[in-house]
Copies of this chain bind each other. A is one copy, B any other.
Amino acid sequence: MKSEAESARPAVILFSGGIDSATVACVAQKQGFALHGLTFRYGQRHEREVEAARSLARAMGFSSHQVLEIDLGAFGGSALTDRALAVPKGRDEARIACGPIPETYVPARNTIFLAFALGFAEVLGAEDAFIGVNALDYSGYPDCRPEYLRAFEAMAKLATRAGVEGRRPLRVHAPLIDKTKAQIIRWGIDLGVDHSSTWSCYDPTPGGRPCGACDSCILRKKGFREAGAADPTPYAT
């Protein structure tokens, strides 16, 4: 089993430990890639997300998994990294999905994540990276749109040895890009994703439970409901 994974083509997986990146990792694995996970600790309000990523990566048999500390919190400007801003709670589902760019948008986050993926891919000799952006995100986050990902690939082609030496430049796979949360959850069930081990909440309780009221929890609940699947998450509310 191990030797098969070792001989497989390597791919970098941007891996938060949430439903989306767990599904993407499963998709990459089914396509025959050996998984090399990158998880970022970036001034989030909690460590639960990073713990979930570590234990999922282990359970899924990743070939390697790196947790990188980056200092997005130093910039401020997002409710996810700036303690002076409140994580919005109890918002209407429709407003979350269709509103303006949300407070939880982290400036240039996907560009920073993909830049690290590009560097890691070059060191590994990987020609592929996977990211779990999806339709639900890209209504609000500019760096979740297909045209953004294509522009990143075009830049990546010029940024690295691969481009200069005529090898295939990095391909950024976003297999969830046109999927709703409910479709992702259903796909994940088909693929065997262990949803009970994934983490979504932006703002867990002091006891470590998902709050149930932040945008991410609300969209997770809605996703399971619309997928017609039991939600294994122990929300606080």
Contact = CB atoms under 8 A, between A and B. Distances in A.
A123 to B, nearest CB: 4
A118 B107 contact: yes
A111 B115 contact: yes
Nearest to A74: B66
Contacts of A76: 123
- How large, as a class, is the contact surface on chain A? 35 or more
B159 A110 contact: yes
A77 B160 CA distance: 13
A72 B119 contact: yes
B142 A148 contact: no
A14 to B, nearest CB: 13
A179 interface: no
A4 interface: no
Contact of A122 (B71, B108, B147): B108
A189 interface: no
Interface in A130-156: 142-143, 145, 147-148, 151-152, 154-156
Contacts of A107: 118-120, 122-123, 160-161
Interface string A98-116: 0001000111111110111
A119 B106 contact: yes
B142 A101 contact: no
A105 B66 CA distance: 21
A71 to B, nearest CB: 4
A164 interface: yes
Interface in A153-176: 154-161, 163-164
A155 B111 contact: yes
Contact of A148 (B115, B116, B122, B159): B159
A69 B73 CA distance: 11
A69 B77 CA distance: 19
Contact of A161 (B71, B101, B109, B118): B101
Contacts of A66: 74-75
